[in-house]
Homo-oligomer: A and B are copies of this chain.
Amino acid sequence: MTAAKNSTEPESPLTFLHLNSQEAEVVDALRKHSFVTRSDISRFTNWSRPKVTGVVNTMIGRGLLVEVGEGDSQGGRRPHLLKLNNELGYIVGVDIGATSVDLALADLNAHVLVRSTGPVDVRGEPSLLLSEVKRRVFEMLRRQGLRPEQVVGVGVGVPGPVDFARATLVAPPLMPAWENFPIRDFFHQLFPNAVVSVDNDVNIMALGELRAGAGIGVDNFLFVKVGTGIGAGVICHGLVHRGSTGSAGDIGHICADRSGPICHCGSTGCLEIMAAGPAIAARGMKAAQSGGSPILKKLMEANGGTLKAEDVGAAAREGDRTAIEIIQSSGHMIGDVLAGLVNFFNPSLILIGGGVSNIGNHLLSSIRQAVLRRSTALATRELMIKYSGMGSEAGVTGAIHLALDYLWLVTGGDK
């Protein structure tokens, strides 16, 4: 890609980032600890102090590291703190949801400089949505006084099954027009120096929690997104588990009820069609129409004859018995499926996120009840089930970390 560039342009930031194996060890230490002293590096690497000094001085000379203030004294002079040079390059995180896109621009330390959120329609043409993404990202760059050539990594989350190696969507039910669309090429054209990675939205939410949320230090956990659909991000041995064809975590099509309705996937009684946002809304509307819930009836009339899952949540918060039962019923179905997965995977943590997780605590408590009722005692001995505290931050944060992981993998900085 560099070959096609005008020769008067500055050296590619990406080439500039290529590391030898010693520099890679230093970057690895800095990624884990943000600020370190030369003594820290000596301890992490088992290198002699003269060797650390040599490698660090070369990296400072190349502009990879900078000295920032002083650390605590261990008796003598206060040691200089080192960190990665923020200004070597920038990262764009893109979290595409069904109806909105979350964007963030971050530095190499994953520190977010600016964010942007806007409505989009994922059901339409990819080029339409992506030109809106482009407009917003270029606006963020302009506000920071940065050029597209300074972007060295792009991480993208999409709400559908991803062929991770090819960075394309595979038979995405929500967004059929995106099948095989070359997302990586699109971002390469905008950011010629960037490493571009694309993953499923729930995987990046799990990665966001792993690196910056409740998942820090947790080797085995699930992030379960309950929204228009239901899916899970699976962290195993401290890594995102994508499975043999990238579809791991696709729990929305596990059977919740053999005698249930037919799902868009062709099977009957899938968890998603039984318990996700649209099912909650549909049951709410049925209750409103049948007179089972005066509050839901009033909300439906105020909404022009329709209801969303959030409205059922609002009615439940007002104490509406029918709304509470509708939410509990979804929670029990989700919990029954999770109970089997808890027996199988034995995670120590399940984080519930996605739009429907804002519906209130009846959902969470009924999920917990069902899991505790059906899982073995040993499998739940150390299990925590809670709402994701990162909310919509999880996806875009994960997208930035995905981009950083693959940037350092390509440049040699991920050992």
The segment from A7-15, A73-81, A237-245, A361-369 found at the interface with B is A237-245
Q: What is the distance, in angstroms, from A231's C-beta to the closest C-beta of chain B?
A: 10
Q: Are A171 and B341 in contact (CB under 8 A)?
A: no
Q: A232 to B265, Cβ gap below 8 A?
A: no
Name the B residues within 8 Å of A170 (CB-CB).
378
Q: Is the CB of A339 within 8 A of B255?
A: yes
Give the distance in Å from the alpha carbon of A251 to the alpha carbon of B249 in the complex: 17
Q: Could you tell me if B250 and A343 are in contact, using CB atoms closer than 8 angstroms? A: yes
The answer for the CA separation of A21 and B341 in the assembled complex, in Å, is 39
Residues of B within 8 A of A120 (CB): none
Which residues of B sit under 8 angstroms from A254, Cβ to Cβ? 339-340, 343-344
Interface check A374, CB cutoff 8 A: yes
Q: Does A247 belong to the interface (CB within 8 Å)? A: yes
Mask: chain A, 340-366; 1 = CB below 8 Å from B; 0 = not = 110111111000000000000000000
Out of B244, B255, B374, name the residue touching A346 (CB < 8 Å): B244
Q: Name the B residues within 8 Å of A381 (CB-CB).
A: 244-245
Residue A337 CB within 8 A of the other chain? yes
Let me know if A378 and B347 touch, CB within 8 A.
Answer: no
Chain B residues closer than 8 Å to A129, beta-carbon distance: none
Name the B residues within 8 Å of A249 (CB-CB): 344, 346
A227 to B63 alpha-carbon distance, docked (Å):
62
Most B CB contacts (10 A, CB to CB) among A220, A232, A336, A345 go to A345
Cβ contact within 8 Å between A244 and B382: yes
The reply to whether A267 and B379 form a contact with Cβ atoms under 8 Å apart is no
- Contact (Cβ within 8 A) B343 A247: yes
Measured in the bound complex, the distance between the Cα atoms of B249 and A72 in whole Å is: 47
Q: Do A344 and B250 touch (CB < 8 A)?
A: yes
Cβ of A59 within 8 Å of any chain B Cβ, yes or no, is no
Q: In this assembly, does A154 line the interface, its C-beta being within 8 Å of a C-beta of chain B?
A: no
Residues A250 and B340 in contact in the complex (CB < 8 Å), given A243-B345, A346-B244: no
Using A254-B340, A376-B265 as known contacts, say yes or no to A347 and B236 having CB atoms under 8 A apart: no
> Is there an interface contact between B344 and A382, defined as CB atoms closer than 8 Å?
no
Chain B: CB-nearest residue to A162: B378
How many Å from the CB of A408 to the closest CB on chain B?
A: 19
Contact: B374 with A245, CB < 8 Å? no
A377 to B337, CA, bound (A): 20
Q: With A255-B336, A343-B250 as known contacts, state yes or no: A236 contacts B245, CB within 8 Å.
A: no
Taken together as a complex, chains A and B put the C-alpha atoms of A239 and B239 apart, in Å, by 12
Could you say which of B236, B347, B376 contacts A250, with CB atoms under 8 Å apart?
B376
Q: Is the C-beta of A413 less than 8 angstroms from some C-beta in chain B?
A: no
A341 pairs with B344, CB closer than 8 A: yes
In the A-B complex, the 7 residue pairs with the smallest Cβ-Cβ separation, listed nearest first, are A243-B346, A244-B348, A248-B346, A254-B340, A247-B378, A236-B236, A247-B379
14 CB-based A-B contacts, threshold 8 Å:
A171-B377, A234-B345, A236-B241, A237-B239, A243-B346, A243-B379, A244-B382, A245-B378, A248-B344, A250-B378, A253-B375, A255-B339, A255-B374, A344-B344
Additional pairs, 16, CB under 8 Å, beyond known A244-B383, A246-B378, A253-B376 = A21-B46, A220-B243, A236-B241, A237-B241, A244-B381, A245-B381, A245-B382, A247-B376, A249-B344, A251-B344, A253-B375, A254-B339, A254-B344, A255-B336, A255-B339, A337-B340
